[in-house]
Amino acid sequence: MTDAPKPPAGDPQSDPQSDPMWVGDLATRMSQGVPQAAALGLEFVSMQDGVGILRVPWRADLVGDPDTEVIAGGVVTSLLDHVCGLAVQAGRSNPTPTATLDLRIDYLRPAKPRAGVTARAQCYKYTHTIAFVRASAYDDDPDDPVATVQAAFALTGGSPA
């Protein structure tokens, strides 16, 4: 993870050579176009070659434990589900409808008080119908994650039926 280039936040077009044409569209759609993503204030960081990065800034109304002011686990769950979906798109040449089959999250440590969370997901295997994704979420150091994830997505369309 350390050898990955550090993407400048808020500059999705920073690496034009590997950004597919539809990345700009998708970046907007994945952050503002999805009501829950917009409500959480999710920020697009980057996507390329099966890797997606998103960030959620800390906000008082997203706190899960008022004693510590740490962002809620549920916010991290939404961020992780979303970034895994982004990673699946990041490895495709065209937008692909997906549905989450399952998501396993290990909470390694609490995030820091009043800290936003960044999540990086990598889609490491596609079959005809399934995409397998790993992800992790961190507050400042990618090598000291607050949570790690293993997920599987169906590529069949909008529903896992």
Closest CA to 48 of 8, 12, 96, 74: 12
Asked if 119 and 54 count as a contact pair (C-beta separation under 8 A), the reply is: yes
CB of 35 to another protein, least distance (A): 4
- The answer to whether 136 contacts another protein (rule: CB under 8 A) is no
Which of positions 91-120 make contact with another protein (CB under 8 A)? 97, 99-107, 110
Count of CB atoms situated within 10 Å of the CB of 143: 8
CB of 44 to another protein, least distance (A): 16
- The answer to whether 35 contacts another protein (rule: CB under 8 A) is yes
- The answer to whether 155 contacts another protein (rule: CB under 8 A) is no
- The answer to whether 123 contacts another protein (rule: CB under 8 A) is no
Stretch that binds another protein, among 12-20, 44-52, 64-72, 128-136 (CB under 8 A): 64-72
Stretch that binds another protein, among 1-9, 20-28, 37-45, 128-136 (CB under 8 A): 37-45
CA pair distance 33, 137, nearest whole angstrom = 22
Closest CA to 122 of 150, 156, 154: 150
Instruction: Show Cβ contacts of residue 152 under 8 Å, excluding neighbours closer than 6 positions.
Output: 100, 101, 102, 130, 131, 132, 133
Residues in contact with another protein by CB under 8 A are 33-39, 60-67, 72-75, 77-82, 97, 99-107, 110, 158-161
